[in-house]
Amino acid sequence: MKHKPVLALVGVFLLPVALAWVVLQQGWFTPGVKGQGEWVEGRIEGARQWRLLLPLAPECGHCADAASLLHNIDLALGRDQERVAVMPVSAGPGLEAGFVYIADPPGQLVMRYALSGNEQQDRLTGKALLEDLRRLLKFSRAG
- 3-class state of residue 52 by DSSP: strand
Residue 137: name the closest of 66, 68, 89, 85 by CA: 85
pLDDT at 103: 92
The separation between CA 57 and the C-alpha centre of its own chain, rounded to angstroms, equals 23
The pTM score is 0.74
Q: Which tens digits make up the pLDDT trace of 47-68?
A: 788 999 988 877 777 776 788 8
The CATH fold of domain 38-139: Glutaredoxin (3.40.30)
Sketch the domain layout of the chain as residue ranges: 1-30, 38-139
Q: Which tens digits make up the pLDDT trace of 2-32?
A: 778 888 888 888 888 888 889 888 888 777 6
Q: Which tens digits make up the pLDDT trace of 115-129?
A: 888 888 888 988 999
